[in-house]
Amino acid sequence: MGKDLIEAIANLDEERAIAIVREKMSSGETAYEIVEQCKKGVEMVGKRYSEGSYYLSDLIMSAEILKEIMVIIEPYFYKNVAEFTEGNGAQIIIGTIEGDIHDLGKNIVIYLLRSSGYRVHDLGVDVSPTKFLEAIKETGATVIGVCVLLTFCIGYVKEMVDLLVEAGLRDDVKIVLGGYPVNEQVKEYTGVDYISNDAVKAMKIFKQITAGISPK
Ligand code: B12
Protein backbone atom coordinates (compact mmCIF):
# COMPACT_ATOMS: atom_id res chain seq x y z
CA MET A 1 0.00 0.00 0.00
CA GLY A 2 1.31 3.43 -0.93
CA LYS A 3 4.45 2.02 -2.54
CA ASP A 4 4.01 4.24 -5.58
CA LEU A 5 4.12 7.42 -3.49
CA ILE A 6 7.02 6.17 -1.38
CA GLU A 7 8.97 5.42 -4.55
CA ALA A 8 8.14 8.73 -6.23
CA ILE A 9 9.42 10.62 -3.17
CA ALA A 10 12.46 8.36 -2.79
CA ASN A 11 13.28 9.03 -6.46
CA LEU A 12 12.62 12.77 -5.97
CA ASP A 13 10.06 12.69 -8.76
CA GLU A 14 8.16 15.78 -7.69
CA GLU A 15 5.53 15.83 -10.44
CA ARG A 16 4.66 12.18 -9.99
CA ALA A 17 4.52 12.47 -6.20
CA ILE A 18 2.11 15.42 -6.38
CA ALA A 19 -0.08 13.66 -8.96
CA ILE A 20 -0.25 10.51 -6.80
CA VAL A 21 -1.16 12.56 -3.70
CA ARG A 22 -4.01 14.27 -5.57
CA GLU A 23 -5.24 10.88 -6.77
CA LYS A 24 -5.06 9.43 -3.27
CA MET A 25 -6.95 12.36 -1.75
CA SER A 26 -9.75 12.01 -4.27
CA SER A 27 -9.98 8.27 -3.70
CA GLY A 28 -10.46 8.84 0.02
CA GLU A 29 -7.07 8.08 1.55
CA THR A 30 -6.59 10.08 4.74
CA ALA A 31 -4.02 12.81 5.24
CA TYR A 32 -2.44 10.62 7.96
CA GLU A 33 -1.97 7.68 5.62
CA ILE A 34 -0.32 10.00 3.14
CA VAL A 35 2.02 11.48 5.78
CA GLU A 36 3.10 7.98 6.80
CA GLN A 37 3.96 7.16 3.17
CA CYS A 38 5.82 10.46 2.83
CA LYS A 39 7.84 9.62 5.93
CA LYS A 40 8.85 6.28 4.41
CA GLY A 41 9.79 8.04 1.16
CA VAL A 42 12.02 10.62 2.86
CA GLU A 43 13.48 7.88 5.03
CA MET A 44 14.73 6.28 1.82
CA VAL A 45 16.10 9.64 0.70
CA GLY A 46 17.92 9.85 4.05
CA LYS A 47 19.25 6.32 3.63
CA ARG A 48 20.56 7.06 0.14
CA TYR A 49 22.15 10.24 1.50
CA SER A 50 23.94 8.38 4.27
CA GLU A 51 25.09 5.75 1.77
CA GLY A 52 26.55 8.50 -0.41
CA SER A 53 24.34 8.06 -3.49
CA TYR A 54 22.34 11.24 -2.70
CA TYR A 55 23.72 14.66 -1.78
CA LEU A 56 22.61 17.50 0.49
CA SER A 57 20.81 19.06 -2.48
CA ASP A 58 18.70 15.88 -2.64
CA LEU A 59 17.74 16.20 1.04
CA ILE A 60 16.70 19.79 0.27
CA MET A 61 14.69 18.60 -2.73
CA SER A 62 12.89 16.00 -0.60
CA ALA A 63 11.95 18.74 1.88
CA GLU A 64 10.56 20.87 -0.95
CA ILE A 65 8.43 17.97 -2.22
CA LEU A 66 7.15 17.33 1.30
CA LYS A 67 6.26 21.01 1.75
CA GLU A 68 4.24 20.98 -1.47
CA ILE A 69 2.42 17.83 -0.42
CA MET A 70 1.62 19.41 2.95
CA VAL A 71 -0.01 22.38 1.24
CA ILE A 72 -2.33 19.94 -0.56
CA ILE A 73 -3.19 17.71 2.39
CA GLU A 74 -3.26 20.13 5.35
CA PRO A 75 -6.90 21.13 4.95
CA TYR A 76 -7.85 17.45 5.17
CA PHE A 77 -6.21 16.75 8.53
CA TYR A 78 -8.86 18.49 10.51
CA LYS A 79 -11.58 16.36 8.95
CA ASN A 80 -9.80 13.26 10.17
CA VAL A 81 -9.23 14.47 13.73
CA ALA A 82 -12.78 15.39 14.60
CA GLU A 83 -12.43 13.34 17.77
CA PHE A 84 -9.49 15.47 18.93
CA THR A 85 -11.21 18.80 19.42
CA GLU A 86 -10.71 19.18 23.13
CA GLY A 87 -7.69 21.46 23.30
CA ASN A 88 -9.81 24.06 25.08
CA GLY A 89 -7.09 26.67 24.80
CA ALA A 90 -4.55 24.63 26.78
CA GLN A 91 -1.06 26.01 26.20
CA ILE A 92 1.76 24.00 24.66
CA ILE A 93 5.30 25.17 23.98
CA ILE A 94 6.98 23.54 20.99
CA GLY A 95 10.38 23.85 19.39
CA THR A 96 13.13 21.96 17.61
CA ILE A 97 16.11 21.55 19.93
CA GLU A 98 19.40 23.43 19.66
CA GLY A 99 21.58 22.60 16.66
CA ASP A 100 18.70 21.09 14.71
CA ILE A 101 16.70 22.91 12.01
CA HIS A 102 14.39 20.07 10.90
CA ASP A 103 10.85 21.31 11.30
CA LEU A 104 8.52 19.60 8.81
CA GLY A 105 7.31 17.00 11.33
CA LYS A 106 7.08 19.58 14.13
CA ASN A 107 4.96 21.82 11.90
CA ILE A 108 2.54 18.95 11.21
CA VAL A 109 2.14 18.40 14.95
CA ILE A 110 1.60 22.14 15.51
CA TYR A 111 -0.97 22.27 12.75
CA LEU A 112 -2.90 19.39 14.34
CA LEU A 113 -2.70 20.89 17.82
CA ARG A 114 -3.92 24.30 16.65
CA SER A 115 -6.72 22.67 14.64
CA SER A 116 -7.78 20.92 17.82
CA GLY A 117 -8.02 24.08 19.90
CA TYR A 118 -4.64 24.19 21.63
CA ARG A 119 -2.73 27.46 22.07
CA VAL A 120 0.67 26.64 20.67
CA HIS A 121 3.76 28.76 21.30
CA ASP A 122 6.05 27.80 18.43
CA LEU A 123 9.65 28.65 19.37
CA GLY A 124 10.88 27.61 15.92
CA VAL A 125 14.09 25.69 15.30
CA ASP A 126 17.54 25.57 16.93
CA VAL A 127 16.00 26.38 20.31
CA SER A 128 18.41 26.40 23.24
CA PRO A 129 17.52 24.80 26.58
CA THR A 130 17.53 28.30 28.13
CA LYS A 131 14.97 29.53 25.60
CA PHE A 132 12.64 26.68 26.53
CA LEU A 133 13.02 27.62 30.19
CA GLU A 134 12.32 31.31 29.48
CA ALA A 135 9.21 30.38 27.47
CA ILE A 136 7.87 28.30 30.37
CA LYS A 137 8.36 31.23 32.74
CA GLU A 138 6.84 33.75 30.30
CA THR A 139 3.77 31.77 29.27
CA GLY A 140 3.09 29.61 32.31
CA ALA A 141 2.59 26.64 29.95
CA THR A 142 3.12 23.28 31.60
CA VAL A 143 3.31 21.09 28.50
CA ILE A 144 6.36 21.12 26.24
CA GLY A 145 6.87 19.42 22.89
CA VAL A 146 10.45 19.02 21.74
CA CYS A 147 11.45 17.90 18.27
CA VAL A 148 14.81 16.29 17.49
CA LEU A 149 15.99 14.63 14.27
CA LEU A 150 19.75 14.81 14.59
CA THR A 151 21.13 12.21 16.96
CA PHE A 152 24.00 14.49 17.94
CA CYS A 153 21.47 17.01 19.28
CA ILE A 154 19.81 14.57 21.68
CA GLY A 155 22.28 15.70 24.37
CA TYR A 156 20.72 19.19 24.30
CA VAL A 157 17.34 17.67 25.13
CA LYS A 158 18.90 16.13 28.23
CA GLU A 159 20.47 19.54 29.02
CA MET A 160 17.03 21.10 28.80
CA VAL A 161 15.54 18.55 31.18
CA ASP A 162 18.46 19.04 33.60
CA LEU A 163 17.97 22.82 33.42
CA LEU A 164 14.32 22.41 34.42
CA VAL A 165 15.38 20.25 37.36
CA GLU A 166 17.90 22.95 38.45
CA ALA A 167 15.22 25.65 38.14
CA GLY A 168 12.88 23.60 40.33
CA LEU A 169 10.33 23.36 37.52
CA ARG A 170 10.68 19.73 36.45
CA ASP A 171 7.70 18.46 38.47
CA ASP A 172 5.44 21.20 37.10
CA VAL A 173 5.85 20.35 33.40
CA LYS A 174 5.30 17.39 31.12
CA ILE A 175 7.73 16.96 28.24
CA VAL A 176 6.89 15.10 25.03
CA LEU A 177 9.82 14.37 22.74
CA GLY A 178 9.19 13.66 19.06
CA GLY A 179 11.15 13.01 15.89
CA TYR A 180 12.63 10.29 13.73
CA PRO A 181 15.29 8.90 16.14
CA VAL A 182 13.33 8.85 19.40
CA ASN A 183 12.83 5.53 21.19
CA GLU A 184 12.69 4.15 24.74
CA GLN A 185 16.46 4.44 25.10
CA VAL A 186 16.37 8.12 24.16
CA LYS A 187 13.49 8.64 26.59
CA GLU A 188 15.48 7.10 29.40
CA TYR A 189 18.67 8.99 28.56
CA THR A 190 17.05 12.40 28.26
CA GLY A 191 14.57 12.03 31.12
CA VAL A 192 11.56 13.26 29.14
CA ASP A 193 8.09 12.03 30.10
CA TYR A 194 6.76 10.76 26.77
CA ILE A 195 8.01 10.05 23.27
CA SER A 196 6.33 9.81 19.87
CA ASN A 197 7.53 9.57 16.29
CA ASP A 198 4.05 9.58 14.95
CA ALA A 199 1.69 12.57 14.82
CA VAL A 200 -1.46 10.65 15.73
CA LYS A 201 0.13 9.11 18.81
CA ALA A 202 1.51 12.56 19.69
CA MET A 203 -2.00 14.05 19.58
CA LYS A 204 -3.32 11.34 21.88
CA ILE A 205 -0.52 11.98 24.37
CA PHE A 206 -1.11 15.75 24.39
CA LYS A 207 -4.84 15.25 24.73
CA GLN A 208 -4.47 12.90 27.69
CA ILE A 209 -1.92 15.12 29.45
CA THR A 210 -4.10 18.21 29.15
CA ALA A 211 -7.15 16.22 30.29
CA GLY A 212 -5.23 15.14 33.40
CA ILE A 213 -5.03 11.50 32.30
CA SER A 214 -1.67 9.78 32.45
CA PRO A 215 -0.77 8.55 28.92
CA LYS A 216 0.31 4.88 28.71
C1 B12 B 1 14.18 16.76 4.85
C2 B12 B 1 15.47 16.52 5.60
C3 B12 B 1 16.34 17.62 5.76
C4 B12 B 1 15.96 19.05 5.38
C5 B12 B 1 15.07 19.63 6.53
C6 B12 B 1 14.06 20.65 6.04
C7 B12 B 1 13.12 21.07 7.17
N8 B12 B 1 12.63 22.30 7.04
O9 B12 B 1 12.80 20.32 8.09
C10 B12 B 1 17.36 19.72 5.26
C11 B12 B 1 17.82 19.60 3.83
C12 B12 B 1 17.43 21.19 5.69
C13 B12 B 1 18.20 18.80 6.13
C14 B12 B 1 19.41 19.16 6.67
C15 B12 B 1 20.27 18.30 7.35
N16 B12 B 1 20.05 16.98 7.56
CO17 B12 B 1 18.33 16.10 7.24
N18 B12 B 1 16.93 14.99 6.74
C19 B12 B 1 15.81 15.23 6.10
C20 B12 B 1 15.01 13.91 5.93
C21 B12 B 1 15.25 13.39 4.52
C22 B12 B 1 13.51 13.98 6.17
C23 B12 B 1 13.07 14.59 7.52
C24 B12 B 1 11.59 14.85 7.51
O25 B12 B 1 11.15 15.97 7.26
N26 B12 B 1 10.76 13.79 7.68
C27 B12 B 1 9.30 13.85 7.51
C28 B12 B 1 8.59 14.22 8.82
C29 B12 B 1 7.08 14.32 8.60
O30 B12 B 1 8.86 13.17 9.72
P31 B12 B 1 9.39 13.44 11.20
O32 B12 B 1 10.29 14.60 11.24
O33 B12 B 1 9.89 12.15 11.76
O34 B12 B 1 8.07 13.89 11.99
C35 B12 B 1 7.04 12.99 12.42
C36 B12 B 1 7.28 12.38 13.80
O37 B12 B 1 8.64 12.18 14.11
C38 B12 B 1 6.54 13.26 14.77
N39 B12 B 1 7.20 14.48 15.28
C40 B12 B 1 8.04 15.31 14.66
N41 B12 B 1 8.33 16.37 15.43
C42 B12 B 1 7.67 16.21 16.58
C43 B12 B 1 7.62 17.01 17.73
C44 B12 B 1 6.86 16.58 18.80
C45 B12 B 1 6.79 17.43 20.03
C46 B12 B 1 6.16 15.35 18.75
C47 B12 B 1 5.40 14.88 19.90
C48 B12 B 1 6.19 14.56 17.58
C49 B12 B 1 6.94 15.00 16.52
O50 B12 B 1 5.41 13.66 14.01
C51 B12 B 1 5.77 13.82 12.62
C52 B12 B 1 4.60 13.35 11.79
O53 B12 B 1 4.33 11.98 11.96
C54 B12 B 1 15.68 13.02 7.04
C55 B12 B 1 15.58 11.53 6.82
C56 B12 B 1 14.72 10.83 7.86
N57 B12 B 1 14.84 9.57 7.93
O58 B12 B 1 13.95 11.41 8.59
C59 B12 B 1 17.13 13.58 7.03
C60 B12 B 1 18.01 13.44 8.27
C61 B12 B 1 17.22 13.70 9.54
N62 B12 B 1 18.99 14.52 8.07
C63 B12 B 1 20.20 14.18 8.39
C64 B12 B 1 21.34 15.02 8.29
C65 B12 B 1 22.68 14.36 8.57
C66 B12 B 1 21.23 16.38 7.95
C67 B12 B 1 22.37 17.42 7.88
C68 B12 B 1 23.40 17.32 9.03
C69 B12 B 1 23.03 17.29 6.49
C70 B12 B 1 24.22 18.20 6.28
N71 B12 B 1 25.37 17.60 6.05
O72 B12 B 1 24.14 19.40 6.34
C73 B12 B 1 21.58 18.74 7.90
C74 B12 B 1 21.41 19.27 9.35
C75 B12 B 1 20.83 20.64 9.41
C76 B12 B 1 20.51 20.97 10.86
N77 B12 B 1 21.40 21.65 11.55
O78 B12 B 1 19.47 20.58 11.35
C79 B12 B 1 20.25 12.75 8.93
C80 B12 B 1 20.42 12.69 10.46
C81 B12 B 1 21.33 11.56 10.86
C82 B12 B 1 21.54 11.50 12.32
N83 B12 B 1 21.79 10.30 12.77
O84 B12 B 1 21.50 12.43 13.07
C85 B12 B 1 18.92 12.15 8.36
C86 B12 B 1 18.30 11.03 9.23
C87 B12 B 1 19.27 11.59 6.96
C88 B12 B 1 20.22 10.43 7.01
N89 B12 B 1 19.76 9.20 7.04
O90 B12 B 1 21.40 10.61 7.01
N91 B12 B 1 17.61 17.58 6.29
Is residue 90 left, alpha or beta, with left meaning phi > 0 and alpha meaning psi from -120 to 50? beta
Residue 103 three-state SS: coil
| Rounded mean pLDDT, 13-22 | 97
- C-alpha span between 86 and 64 (Å, rounded): 32
Expressed in angstroms and rounded, the spacing between residue 9 Cα and the centre of ligand 1 is 15
Tell me how many domains the chain contains.
Answer: 2
pTM of the model: 0.94
Ligand 1 pocket test target in 32, 59, 193 with most atoms within 8 Å of CB: 59
**Residues 102 and 205 placed together within one structural domain of the fold:** yes
Q: What is the pLDDT of residue 24?
A: 95
Residues 152 and 203 grouped into a single domain = yes
pLDDT of residue 204: 92
Mind listing the pLDDT tens digit for each residue in 109-140? 998 898 888 999 999 999 999 999 999 999 99
Answer yes or no: do 122 and 206 share one domain: yes
Q: Quickly state the pLDDT bin for 54 (edges 50, 70, 90).
A: very high
Closest CA to 193 of 211, 170, 168, 166: 170
34: domain CATH number is 1.10.1240.10
Domain ranges, residue 108: 91-210
37 lines ligand 1 (CB under 6 A): no
- For residue 23, the SS3 value is helix
As a whole number, mean pLDDT of residues 161-173 equals 97
The residue nearest atom 11 of ligand 1, judged by CA position, is 60
In a domain? residue 149: yes
Residue 111 lies in a domain: yes
Amino acid letter for position 206: F
Distance 180 CA to ligand 1 centre (A): 7
Residue 194 sits at φ, ψ, to 5 deg, of -140, 155
Residue (of 144, 133, 129) closest to 167 by Cα position: 133
Q: What percent of the chain has pLDDT over 70?
A: 94
Same domain for 110 and 197, yes or no, is yes
176 DSSP β-pair partners:
145, 194
pLDDT of residue 168 exceeding 80, the answer is yes
Q: Are residues 69 and 112 in the same domain?
A: no
pLDDT on residue 86: 63
